[in-house]
Amino acid sequence: MKTTRSTLIKSFVAFFAALMLTACGSGGSGGSGGGGGLSLNITDAPVNNDDIAEVWVRFTNVIIHPSDGSPDIEEPVTDGTNPWIDINLKDLTAGKTMLLGEFDLAAGDYSWIRLDIDPEHTVIVERTVVDNPDGEGNSENNDIIYDPRKLDCSSCDQSHLKLNRSFTIKNTGWTNFTIDFDLQKSLTLQLPQSEIEINVEGRPDYAYKLRPTLRILDTELASTFIWGSVTDTRATKEDPADPTGCEIYVYTGDEATVIPDDICVPADEVDTSCDAVNNQRPLTTADVINNGTSFEYKTGPLYPGTYTVAMICPAIIADQASADNPDTDDELVYIGEQEVDATLDPPNGLGSVANFELADAL
C-alpha cells in the first residue's frame, strides 16, 4: 500500500482540476432566480505533527433542519465530477478555506446543520523517513515514504458532525458560514508502533482515530486573526534546532482571567477526565512555521474580541509531555502569555500582532 510522494500527488491531480473548475464556477451571488441561499466553507486548525502529511475527508451531504418541523433538507455536495468532495484538511490552515457547497434554501428559520462524510474514504497519509542502506542517517539520500491508511472514524456519527447553529434565510442574499474542522482536537494515535516497525511495515489501517471537533463561524464577522513572529534566542540549539515544533494556543478572554490549559476532549458526555475547575482549554491553535527568513504563525479566522495567547514547545521543553494528546489532560509549559485585542478592522489589514521569544531560561 506504500507509495512515493509523486505517485500520491498524481492520484489527486484529476480531482483538484475538477474541484478548481467547480470553485471558479461558483458565483455566490444568490440562489437560483435570485433567491436566498446558504454557503459553507471548510477550514482547519492544524495538527502539529510533521509525520502527518495529509488528512483526507470525503464529504457527501449537508443536512439542514428547518425550525418549523418540516422534513430535513438533504443537499448533496460534488467536486464537479463525483457526488462527493475529498478535502485535505492539512491544506486548510492559517486562514485558508475551501468551498464545501452553496445551497438554495427557502426563506425561513433553520435550527442546525449536519455534515455527512464517508468513513470508508477518510484517509490519513503518514510521512516516514527510511534510512538508506549506507547508514548515513537523515541524509538527502534517504527515502521518504508516504503511506495512506484508513482512519478510524467510528465516532463520525450524527452528533459529532452536527452543528447546533440556528440561522435565518432571507428572500435574497446569502448566509455564509465557515466550519473549522479542528484536527488538533480531533485526531489521536490509538495504535502506536516503534519507528523500526513503521519503516518496515507502516501503520495498519485505523491506527489513527478521528473524532470530529467542529466549530461554526459567521464568515463575515469572523474576519480578523492573530499573527506574529517567534525569535529563537537560545545560545545552544539542540535537536530540534528551531521552533517549528512550537504552537500558539489562543484562549478567549483577557490575561487576568485566563489560566491556560491543554487540549482535552471528553470521550463522551459522562467523561469527567477533562474537567477544568478554573483553567481554560484553547479555542484554537496555530503552528509556528519557517517561512525561509523567520519563524511565524497565523491563526485561522476569529471574531473580534480580547484573547490570551501562549506558546508551547513540547519537543524543546523538557519535563513535560512530548505532545498535547487531546484524549488526556497533559501538563504543558506555556511561554510568553500575553493579551491581544483582535479588532475587526486591524491596521492595514495585517491582523493583530503578538510576538514570542524562545530563550534558554525556560
Q: pLDDT tens-digit profile of 196-221?
A: 555 556 778 888 888 888 889 998 88
255, 308 in Cβ contact below 8 A?
Answer: yes
Q: Round to whole Å and give the CA distance between 16 and 87.
A: 10
The CA-atom distances, in angstroms, between 61 and each of 27, 58, 79, 129, 255 are 20, 10, 12, 37, 41
Q: What pLDDT shows up at residue 22?
A: 37
306 class by beta-carbon count within 10 Å (0-12 exposed, 13-18 middle, 19+ buried):
middle
Q: CA–CA distance from 123 to each of 23, 52, 150 (Å)? A: 23, 11, 5
Is residue 260 a contact partner of residue 333, using CB atoms and an 8 Å limit?
no
Domain boundaries, the chain: 5-218, 226-358
At 276 the three-state DSSP class reads coil
What pLDDT is stored for residue 110 in this prediction?
Answer: 92
pLDDT digits (tens, 9 = 90+) for 293-338: 888 999 988 988 899 999 998 877 765 556 677 777 878 888 889 9
Q: How many CB atoms lie within 10 A of CB 159?
A: 12
User: How much is the pTM?
Assistant: 0.75
Q: How many residues does the chain have?
A: 362
Helix (H, G, I), strand (E, B) or coil at 98: strand
Q: At 268, is the secondary structure helix, strand, or coil?
A: coil
Backbone conformation region of residue 141, classed left if phi is above 0, alpha if psi is from -120 to 50, else beta: alpha
Q: Which residues pair with 59 in a beta bridge?
A: 85, 117
At residue 71, the 3 state secondary structure works out as coil
Give the cell for residue 136.
Answer: 548515513
Residues of the chain with pLDDT under 50: 1-34, 137-139
CB 37 within 8 A of CB 104: yes
The answer to whether 336 and 357 are in contact (CB under 8 A) is yes
For residue 57, the surrounding DSSP H or E stretch is: strand 52-66
Nearest C-alpha neighbor of 304 from the set 225, 215, 214, 216: 225
